[in-house]
Structure 1
């Protein structure tokens, strides 16, 4: 379906029945990230699956301020309002995890349970954020100058996704085709507006989250395992599970196990 929010037309997929589960994909992803889980999670949850601003079939406006993570979180609240949804369970992966965490901190009454896959609260210091913004700006220029195909070639080769090299060729082709369906403006503006260096640091706010939280990381993703360990220490009601045999994209590399863990957490 199409929903107009903040003068932006959002594409949203809906499936299943039960308590609403809002699903947020990662950078270069779209709603198709989560639709394979409809047969599993749809048995107990009504899945609300938007394309985040700048991705998929959702619009990619010129105004970078619309991509700010706080603005994107507010858009999701307005989407919930249009759908008549007061509260959701919330799952976000990577960039979508940072967005999910932002929503849970800014609108705590709207989240019943929170699941963060390979996510972070941002960077702790101003210097770290400045350095990251500079790198993201360079990457945004690269996308605009070289185009999506060249960027996806680069993105697929970064160490963060090295463990995906063992996936079947058919899966790698499908993931690549989905990434290539995005547009240069949307991806570049997402980096500039919603990048890790552009968002606030939520490290000092983690103890404000009162709902149950599940942190999921892959054993081969050492960076995000360390982040999750520190997050679990700072949160009041967080549990942390490390999934063996995978890296950053657990939902792709260990789909069945990931689906079961999420279902079990939501069913408690």
Structure 2
């Protein structure tokens, strides 16, 4: 299994590492940062971008995916790192933090959910994900992307500059049908394990970022931070579901500040341990 990745910034080996995971129909090219004190690694998730697509479907399961990603960090000699995930990438990052926590210093979730708690709602969501996969197989990719972009959750993106919207569409249209369909069928929200019960015991700082126009994920975020005192939520003005595209400067500032704060805490704790 081969995963495509690239370093957005890698200026100093002493800098903390931030690993970025994109959303559904996105790629590692979705992210753009200008950090000078953070080394940023972006990965194409399975079924997307330049990462392998034609593999056994079981490799698309979140539990298998996070094992593969954890192995990738070992191969790249990354001992410790922060995770950042958007939407599907946020779900993946949370699963990674719970199931393969070694080396993870903190997590930034941009949207994303710990899963569906109601068994009936989970069944319905699985059916919905499968219907979308069927649409991919029975119509053109262009038709599916047109439908996907028309969903209410992306309404705020219609206000983005035309050049940005064209880049987003170009990225989405670069995908392969089979990769998107298998992602929906095997790692969609309907297939995802319910991680809500795991949140209380998760000993990891988490920053949950949500747009002020993203009502659905504001509700999820409020429920999320109630589970653990290590969690924090920030609501970003003039943004919907995809903050890193709609308010990129604010997004970068919030992420950078949070990592700096966490690094300071790590350094202080290390100094205390040394003193003892």
Task: Report matched runs for 1:28-39 at 5 Å.
Answer: 28-34=25-31, 36-37=32-33
Runs of 4 or more off by more than 4 Å in structure 1?
none
Structure 2: distance between partners of 1:155 and 1:218:
19
Structure 2: distance between partners of 1:46 and 1:92:
16
Q: Partner of 1:134 in structure 2? A: 127
- Give TM-score, length-normalised by structure 2: 0.91
Structure 2: distance between partners of 1:190 and 1:257:
30
Q: Partner of 1:248 in structure 2? A: 241
Q: Deviations over 1:22-71 (max 9, x none)?
A: 1000000000011x21xx22x12211211000000111124221100111
Segments of structure 2 that go 5 or more residues without pairing to the other structure are 262-276
1:146 matches 2:139: yes
- Give TM-score, length-normalised by structure 1: 0.94
Number of equivalenced pairs: 257
1:226 matches 2:219: yes
1:201 matches 2:198: no
Structure 2: distance between partners of 1:118 and 1:165:
19
Q: Secondary structure at the match of 1:10?
A: coil
Q: Partner of 1:19 in structure 2? A: 16
Structure 1: distance between partners of 2:66 and 2:119:
22
Shift of residue 111 of structure 1? 0.9
Structure 1: distance between partners of 2:141 and 2:197:
36
Q: Is the 8 A contact 1:108 1:209 kept in 2?
A: no
Structure 1: distance between partners of 2:103 and 2:183:
24
Q: Partner of 1:3 in structure 2? A: none
Specify the structure having the higher radius of gyration (Cα).
2
Q: Is the 8 A contact 1:210 1:236 kept in 2?
A: no
Segments of structure 1 that go 5 or more residues without pairing to the other structure are 1-7
Structure 2: distance between partners of 1:172 and 1:16:
28
Structure 2: distance between partners of 1:192 and 1:255:
31
Q: Which has the higher strand share?
A: 1
